[in-house]
Amino acid sequence: MTASDSRQRQAPFAAACRECEVEQGVDSANELVAFYRRHSRQTDHDVVVTRTDFAFDLPTATDVETVVAELEAHYENGVPLGAVVAATSEQGVPVGETLEELHDVRLTGALYEPRDDHVAVV
């Protein structure tokens, strides 16, 4: 791969901070969450998902329990948090708000984390 090829390669996923006008392309959905965590820790800003590359249509619901339930058909052993934030971000919900809602719903016992940064419906 030449330097020109690598500059032209578009990452399959991206998130952006509207306040900083920074966009980060990443290779996996869960890296969207990692970008949010780093950016939020440094700036206290939220981010939105601007590009996704899933082989299926994302749910249109905004409540995370419904989104996780609909995405479970595509994943074994839990839905990546990045897939959940990508789905809710398409409905206008920033990444940080979705992660907070996921945390709150997990505390009710309706969702659990079968492995790091993956969730499933109980």
**Token digits of residue 82:** 């990045």
Task: Please enumerate in sequence order all residues whose Cβ is within 8 A of that of 65, keeping only pairs 6 or more positions apart, or say none.
Answer: 105, 110, 111, 121
pLDDT tier, 33 (very low <50, low <70, confident <90, very high otherwise): very high
Structural domain of residue 116, as residue ranges? 13-121
**Token digits of residue 108:** 């009710």
Considering the domain boundaries, does residue 112 fall inside one? yes
Considering the domain boundaries, does residue 75 fall inside one? yes
- Helix, coil or strand: residue 11: coil
Task: Please enumerate in sequence order all residues whose Cβ is within 8 A of that of 104, keeping only pairs 6 or more positions apart, or say none.
Answer: none
Considering the domain boundaries, does residue 103 fall inside one? yes
pTM for the whole thing?
0.89
HEC sequence for 74-116: HCCCCEEHHHHHHHHHHCCCCHHHHHHHHHHHHHHCCEEEEEC
Report pLDDT for 5. 54
Considering the domain boundaries, does residue 30 fall inside one? yes
Q: What is the average per-residue pLDDT within 56-80? A: 95
User: Around Cβ 91, how many Cβ atoms within 10 Å?
Assistant: 14
Is 52 in contact with 86 (CB distance < 8 Å)?
Answer: yes
Considering the domain boundaries, does residue 64 fall inside one? yes
Report pLDDT for 59. 95
Per the structure, how many domains does the chain have?
1
